[in-house]
Structure 1
Amino acid sequence: MKAGWREPWQGRVDPLDGEAGRRWHQAVQAWQPGAARGVALLGLASDEGVSRNQGRVGAAQGPLALRRMLANLPVHRPLPLYDAGDVTCEAGDLEAAQSAYAERAAALLDDGQLVLGLGGGHEIGWASYQGLVHSTALRAGGSLAIVNFDAHFDLRLAPQASSGTPFRQALDEAEASGRRVAYRCVGISVTANTRALFDHARQRGVIWSPDEALDLRGLDSCRAELLAWLAGHDHVYLTLCLDVLPASVAPGVSAPAARGVAMEVLEPLVKAVAGCGRLRLADIAELCPPHDIDQRTARTAARLAWQIVDAWQSARSAEPGA
C-alpha cells in the first residue's frame, strides 16, 4: 500500500453514538496478508480500455471518487473492511495492469476475502475473471456464473482488448481451458448492441434480460428466475457497469444510457445475486467523475456497493458455524 492510502477515507464522526455511529472511514484498514476474513476493496485505475473502445475517458479517476463516497457509509454490523490499494495502467499497457490486478485479486481471494473491485472502465471484467480462475477456489473446480448488470454485452470482436471485450475474453479462455462458465447479462439495451453482438451472444449461450422488460411488475419473477439459475453454479462473479442505470441517475459514465434500468428494480436484483451464498468477487465499473453531475453516479455506486456487502454479509452470517 502506498503512503497516503487513507486520504479519501475521511468523513463525519458521531462520538456520542459510540460503536453504533461508526462509518466505513472509521472501520477501514490497510490490507495485510492473513487478515481476518472480510471485504477487500481493490481498484483498477484505468480508462485505457474505454479509450480503445472509443468511449469518453475519465474512469481512471473512478476508484478514488468511489472511495470518497464510500467513506461516510454506516457500519450496521461489525465487518473487517480493507483497502488493498489500486493498480494503475501505466503508459497505456492495459494488459500489464490487468495481469497485476488479477494477481492481487487472487491473493486476496486465497486469503479468504470477498473482493470488491472499483473501476475504472469495464476492462476490470477481464482482470477480475483472471483473478478468480487463478484463485484456489476455482482451481479446485466447480462452475462459475458471471452476472453482468450492463446495457452492453461486452462481447466485442476487436484487434486488441478494451472495455468492450472482457467477457468474450472470459468465454474464450473458459472454452480453451475446459472451464464451466456461464454468462448472463441483465439490462441489455437493444439500441446499444449491434446485430453481430446479439448473434454472438446466442452462439455462446449467453442469457440476457433487456432493459425494457425490467420493471416493478416483473421484479419478483425475474428475481426468482435469476436465483434459480444461480443455484446451478458453485461460484458467482457479480459485475456491475453503471451505464445500466438511466442517464439521469448515472450521468458520470463512459456511455450514458438512453433508457436504463430503474434503481428500484436494479437494486433488489443486485442484492439477490450478492446474497446467494456463493459470491466470490464483485466489481463496479465505468464511474467517470469528470462527467458526473452533483456526484450522482458516485453516490449511486456507493449505495450499490454497500448493498452488495450487506447482502453478502447476511448470507455469510447464515452459514453453519458462522
Structure 2
Amino acid sequence: MNTETAPLYSPAPDWSGRNDGPGPEHARWHSVIEPIAQDSPAGVALLGFASDEGVERNGGRQGAAAGPAALREALGGLAIQDELALFDAGTITTQETDLEGAHEELSSRVATLIDAGHLTIILGGGHETAFGSHRGLFRSLGPAQIINLDAHFDLRSENRPTSGTPFLQISQLVGKKDFDYSVLGISQPNNTATLFETANELGVHITLDEDLAEMSVKEAAQLARVLVQNSPHERVHLSIDMDVLPAHQAPGVSAPAALGVSFDRIRAIAVAIAATGKLALVDVVEINPRFDQDNRTAKLGARLINDIAVAHVLSTSAT
C-alpha cells in the first residue's frame, strides 16, 4: 500500500448525510458529531486507524485502510433519538510499512482520549489496530478485560507485528497474570492446534462459532454479562472483527467466514457489554470496502457503533 502522500494524522473530516430539517427532532450523526477539542466534555470519541500493513504482513487481502471512511459514511445518516455527545478525533494513517510508528501514535491518542473520560471507538483498519489501541488504554487505566468477537484468536507468534499477532503482543505487554482475554466466535477449522495451545496456556476463554449458533440471542447476551461480571478488571476493551459475521451478512472483510455468528447475536453481545457501564475502548476492524456489497458490511459496523454508544451512555447516565 502506498501512503507516501497521506499524513500520519489528519483531523476530523467533514461529515454528511440526510438532512430532514433543523432541531434535535431531526438529529443524525452528521449533524451532531463535532471535531474533538481539549475542552470537549466527556462523551463518545471516534478515532480512525487507516492501516493495511498488518493485513499485508499476515497474507490477507488489502483494503481495510479504507474502513474508517466507509464507517463514517455509514454512520452519518443514522438518526439519533438519545442525547449523545459525539466527537471525531481524526484519523491515523500508517506510512508505507511503518506500522510500529502508527501504533505509537494510536496508543498516544487513545490514552489522551481515555484520560479525558471519552468512550473511545477506533475505526479500523486491520486487526493490528487492537495492539496500539489497547496499549493506549493500558497506559491510561492499567490492565483491562478484553472481549474479542472474532473467528480468529490473533495470537500468532511472528517476528514482527501483523493483524494476526495483536493479542499475543498484549499478553506480553500486560503480563500473563493480568491478561484477561475472551474470544467469542472462534472458527475451529480456521485456527491451528498451536493457536489453541497458546490460548490454553494464556487462560483464554473460548466460545466457538458453532456454540454461539446454538444459543438464543438472550443467552448470548447473558454470556457476555457473565464474562464482564467475573473479570477481576473494572474496565473492558471490546474488539469486533467484522469477519466474525457470516460472509453473506458481511462480505466486505479481509477474511470472509464460511459459518460465522449471526448479526443479532453479535449485536446482543456488544450491547450487553456496553450496558454494564464498564466499557472503555472499542475497536471495529477488518471492514474492506473493496469487497463490500451495497455497503452492507459498513452499515452493520455502523449499527454496532451506534447501539454500543447509546447503551454505554444510558448505562453511565443511570449511575
**1:130/1:217 Cα in 2 relative to 1: closer, same or farther (>3 Å)?**
closer
Residue in 2 that maps onto 1:295 = 295
**1:159/1:2 Cα in 2 relative to 1: closer, same or farther (>3 Å)?**
closer
1:166-185 equivalences under 5 Å are: 166-175=166-175, 180-185=178-183
SS for the counterpart of 1:121 is coil
Residue in 1 that maps onto 2:191 = 193
SS for the counterpart of 2:251 is coil
- Answering whether residue 21 of structure 2 is matched by residue 15 of structure 1, we say yes
Residue in 2 that maps onto 1:110 = 115
SS for the counterpart of 1:34 is coil
Unaligned runs of at least 5 residues, structure 2? 1-8
Deviation at 1:226, TM superposition (A): 2.7
Residue in 1 that maps onto 2:47 = 42
Deviation at 1:220, TM superposition (A): 3.1
For residues 29-72 of structure 1, the C-alpha deviation after alignment (integer angstroms, 9 at most, x for no partner) is 11011211101100110010000000001101110111011101
1:132-151 equivalences under 5 Å are: 132-135=137-140, 137-138=141-142, 143-151=143-151
What letter matches 1:230 in structure 2? V
Contact 1:41 1:117 in 2 (8 A): yes
Residue in 2 that maps onto 1:215 = 213
Structure 1 distance, partners of 2:51, 2:216, is 36
- Answering whether residue 126 of structure 2 is matched by residue 128 of structure 1, we say no
What letter matches 2:17 in structure 1? G
- Answering whether residue 81 of structure 2 is matched by residue 76 of structure 1, we say yes
What letter matches 1:208 in structure 2? I
What letter matches 2:21 in structure 1? P
SS for the counterpart of 1:15 is coil
Identity of aligned residues (%): 41
Contact 1:216 1:264 in 2 (8 A): no
Aligned length: 309
Residue in 2 that maps onto 1:31 = 36
Deviation at 1:219, TM superposition (A): 3.7
Deviation at 1:2, TM superposition (A): 4.2
Contact 1:238 1:281 in 2 (8 A): yes
What letter matches 1:206 in structure 2? V
TM-score under structure 2 normalisation?
A: 0.93
Deviation at 1:99, TM superposition (A): 0.6
Contact 2:55 2:162 in 1 (8 A): yes
Unaligned runs of at least 5 residues, structure 1? none
Residue in 2 that maps onto 1:283 = 283
Query: What's the RMSD between the two structures over aligned residues?
Result: 1.5
Deviation at 1:218, TM superposition (A): 4.0
Contact 2:48 2:122 in 1 (8 A): yes
What letter matches 1:100 in structure 2? E
Structure 1 distance, partners of 2:112, 2:215, is 42
Structure 2 distance, partners of 1:166, 1:34, is 32
Residue in 1 that maps onto 2:312 = 312
Residue in 1 that maps onto 2:13 = 6
What letter matches 1:97 in structure 2? A
Residue in 1 that maps onto 2:225 = 227
Contact 1:216 1:265 in 2 (8 A): no
Contact 2:120 2:282 in 1 (8 A): yes
For residues 59-102 of structure 1, the C-alpha deviation after alignment (integer angstroms, 9 at most, x for no partner) is 01110111011101111112111110001100210000011011
What letter matches 2:195 in structure 1? L
Structure 1 distance, partners of 2:309, 2:206, is 24
Structure 2 distance, partners of 1:72, 1:214, is 31
Residue in 1 that maps onto 2:6 = none
Deviation at 1:103, TM superposition (A): 0.2
What letter matches 1:49 in structure 2? G
SS for the counterpart of 1:83 is strand
Structure 2 distance, partners of 1:300, 1:224, is 22
Structure 2 distance, partners of 1:261, 1:222, is 11
What letter matches 1:278 in structure 2? K
Structure 2 distance, partners of 1:25, 1:247, is 29
What letter matches 1:13 in structure 2? N
One of 98, 103, 106 as aligned partner of 1:93: 98
Contact 1:23 1:73 in 2 (8 A): yes
Structure 2 distance, partners of 1:76, 1:54, is 42
SS for the counterpart of 1:191 is helix
- Answering whether residue 161 of structure 2 is matched by residue 155 of structure 1, we say no
Structure 1 distance, partners of 2:295, 2:246, is 15
Structure 2 distance, partners of 1:273, 1:210, is 19
**1:272/1:97 Cα in 2 relative to 1: closer, same or farther (>3 Å)?**
same
**1:181/1:248 Cα in 2 relative to 1: closer, same or farther (>3 Å)?**
same
